[in-house]
Amino acid sequence: MKTYSIWLIPEHNSRIRYRNLILKISKKLKSQPFEPHCTIYGRLKLDLQKIEQVIEKLNANQTQFSMKIKKIKNGKNFWKSVYVSLEKNIDSDNIFNICKKSFRANSRYSFDPHLSLVYGLHNDEAIYYALRNIEVPRYLSFSGIAIVETGEDISKWQTVYQRQFL
């Protein structure tokens, strides 16, 4: 069965800015680039239509919203190597709680909001040089939500369903 993730999609200008940043850092660290996103819920192995139904309900009254950026961080996890840490708010919590209520029987997922800048295991010195002179704004706005077919091979990720917020 395919594995899906639910992503918050940055608004247009932020998406372009972070896409360029991800491409730049991925090139420096020789990693696979990907589309900018904040995973709201992941590792779902369900029929796509069931996930779509939840997203449709969730999206019905959701408007564009922003999350405060805490700072750029790095970790020792392949999937959380270098990322922009985001502060939870009422909108992000509401979306996560709807997903949790709908999907927890299938997959438990802990929500730690962030926007990854690169995946992979990289040494601290390489990360330091890749991030030199990088500035991020104080807030990041999200204008949509997507269901993405994910897995271990980043190059094969594909958006299978996407909706814009009101």
Whichever domain contains 15, its CATH number is: 3.90.1140.10
Distance CA 17, CA 146 (A): 19
pLDDT in tens, 109-164: 899 999 999 999 999 999 999 999 888 899 999 999 999 999 999 999 999 999 99
Q: Indicate if the pLDDT at residue 101 is higher than 90.
A: yes
Number of domains in the chain: 1
**DSSP state, residue 102:** H
Strands, DSSP E only, in the chain? 3-10, 38-44, 65-77, 80-86, 114-118, 139-150, 158-164
Domain residue limits at 107 = 3-164
